[in-house]
Amino acid sequence: MTSITVRTRSAPNLAAVLSKTTWVELKLFFRDPAAAFFTLALPVLLLVLNGAGGNDPDPAFGGAGAIDVLVPGYIALVIATLGLMQLPAVLAGYRERGVLRRLEATPIRPGVILVAQLLVQGLIATVGLIVLVVLGMSVFELRAPQAPWTVLAAYLVAVLGFSAFGFVLAAVLPTARSTAAIASALYFPMIFLSGATWPREMLPGWAARIGDLLPLTYVVEAVKQPWIAGQADVFAMGVLAVMIVAGTVLATRLFRWA
Domain annotation covers residue 9: no
Domain annotation covers residue 182: yes
- pLDDT tens digits for range 84-137: 999 999 998 888 888 877 876 676 777 788 899 999 999 999 999 999 999 999
Asked if the model's pLDDT at residue 256 lies above 90, the reply is no
Q: Computed from CA positions of residues 60, 38, 86, 127, in that sequence, does the dihedral angle turn out positive or negative?
A: negative
Domain annotation covers residue 6: no
Asked if residues 94 and 176 have their Cβ atoms less than 8 Å apart, the reply is: no
Domain annotation covers residue 3: no
Domain range for 241 is 14-254
Exposure of 216 in the CB half-sphere (CA atoms within 13 A): 32
Q: How far apart are CA 142 and CA 67, in angstroms?
A: 6
Q: How far apart are CA 51 and CA 258, in angstroms?
A: 47
Q: How far apart are CA 150 and CA 6, in angstroms?
A: 56
Domain annotation covers residue 179: yes
Domain annotation covers residue 2: no
What pTM was estimated for this model as a whole? 0.90
Predicted confidence band at 3 (pLDDT cuts at 50, 70, 90)?
Answer: very low
Domains in the chain: how many in total? 1
Asked if the model's pLDDT at residue 239 lies above 70, the reply is yes
Question: Dihedrals φ, ψ of 140, to 5°?
Answer: -115, 15
Determine the pLDDT at residue 40: 92
